[in-house]
Each structure stands twice: as structure tokens, then as C-alpha cells.
Structure 1
Amino acid sequence: MNATADELAGVVDLFGGLTRDELERALEEVAFRADGGSVDEDLEETIEGALESFALVCYELPTAEERALLVVGPTAFPTVPEHATDLPHILDLEPRRLDREALGEQAHERFVRAVDDALADGDDDRLADLLDVSYDLEAWAPIDCTTDRERLDGGLE
């Protein structure tokens, strides 16, 4: 199974958030149910690409007993892959409720780091992508990216 970032987001959206291990297990189940196949060996690269594009964001839970969750990010168009609708029953995971404000703050911090990196690298393509992401991020979470956009615009001039 070759999952796209939007399909990863679709699987994650079924639960509200998944750890990386849970996401891998869910995708293995989908691949098996689809055709008895397995998950593409580039899954880690696909997850990293989804995080870089903000299709997925990492949410560090405030409690020590749970790890970070991957959640649907502001640029995703979640698409539930065929054979995935029964995953909540198969994996027996309860839907997770997230603190949207804390999630927005963490995503914004990650966004600022991405802006810093793109500015330091002088990567105009990444700066332009992040400018678009800034609008998606504001619509997705209760944050203000005005200062970040000014920095991005300055880097693009």
C-alpha cells in the first residue's frame, strides 16, 4: 500500500490522533484487507513528508503516560482509504479528544521553526509554501500568523 499524506490524515482522523506505531498498525491492517499486501517500505518518508507539509502535525500530550500523537494538520484533505472504515473497531482504540488551543500552539511553534529554517536556507520555494500554510494554519487553529507572514514576505523580496 502506497499511502498519500491525505490518506494518512484520513486514517488519523478516524481516531482524532494516533501514535506512529498505531498509524503503522492501522495502515498494515488496511493493506492486508485491501489485497493481502503490506505497507510501502517508504512509510516513514511519507509520514515525514506529511509532517513537513503540515498535512499532519505532532501533538505532544500533556500527560506523561502517553506519547506524541499524529493529528490531521491544516493543509490536509483527509481521505479515508478503501477498507479503512472499520479500523476503529478492529484496532479497538477510543477516539481521542484534543485540546485544540494547545494543539494550535504546538503547530505554530513547529511552523515558526520551519520559517526560521527556510529563511536561514534562503529557500524561496519553501518560503512560498509556508506563506500558503500560514493562512491554512490560522483558519485551522486560534493563532495569528501575521508576524510570520511579514518575515516570509521579507525573505521572498
Structure 2
Amino acid sequence: MNHKASSFLVAQGAMIAAAYVVLTVAFAPFSFKEIQVRISESLTILPMFTPVAVPGLAVGCLLANILGGAVLADIIFGSLATLIGAVGTRMLRGKNPVLAVIPPIVANMLIVPFVLRYAYGVPLPIPLMMGTIGIGETVSCGILGLLLYKALYPHRKSIFKE
């Protein structure tokens, strides 16, 4: 890979991270707590198009959690949930995009409720929080993410480089 191509990929990953941060912070009232629809999670569909979306999303989530005032456990495990989801989506590239939104939904649904309980002391039952986080992730990844996929797919070759 030449220098120009690698610079493009680094810049693209950085732009994805920045977009994640901006969307999370701009919609902060909906991005945190036990009931959340993190609009930025719609970007977890991007690994279907480019591998640089995986680290871009992980770094974006890490920075968004720091800027959003999250505690250390949330910074670590919330970012890990997004990383796991992004890797899962990347592994499903070339498949039906409906399947590709499942990893970030499930990763966040399984990890975030424990962060809410043990890092923030949220007293709600973990299964209930799994449900609320799952619904929020389904809205952001499943609905908004698939709309983003549909909008980007016709332009994928001009926007993304593999």
C-alpha cells in the first residue's frame, strides 16, 4: 500500500471517530443512562464498507465517553462493546446488512447493563436494562444504521477504499 492510500485510510478512520464523538456529544441527553438511543451507534454499519471503521468506531466511542464524563469502567467496557460490535459487523460484510447490525446490538445489550449497575449503581434489574439498551441499540443500529447503509451503498466505491 502506498503512502497516499494509507494516509487516506488513517484520515477516514479519524473522520469516523470524529463523527461518532460529535453525534454522541450533540445528542448527549439520549446517549447516556439506562435508557439510551445513541445516534452515533448507527455508524456501526460502516465496517460493512471499510476496515478502518473498526478502530475509528472504537476510538470514537472511547473519546465520546471521556468527553461525556463517563467513569473509567464505562470508558473501558462501553468502548469494548462498540469494538466487539464493529468487529462482528466487519466479519459479516458481504452478507445481508440486517445480519450485520446484530453484533453491536447484542454486544451493547450484554455489556452496558453491567456497567450501569456496577459503575453507576443504577438499581434497575439487569434484564430490564438489557431490554432498554437492546431497544435503543435496535433503533440506532437496526433502523438508523440500515438507513445509513441504504444511503451509502450506491456510493460505496467512491467513498470507501478497502
TM-score, normalized by the shorter chain, greater than 0.5: no
The structure with the greater share of residues assigned to strand is 1
Give the structure with higher Rg (CA): 1
The structure with the greater share of residues assigned to helix is 2
> Taking structure 2 as the reference length, what is the TM-score of the superposition?
0.31
> Taking structure 1 as the reference length, what is the TM-score of the superposition?
0.32
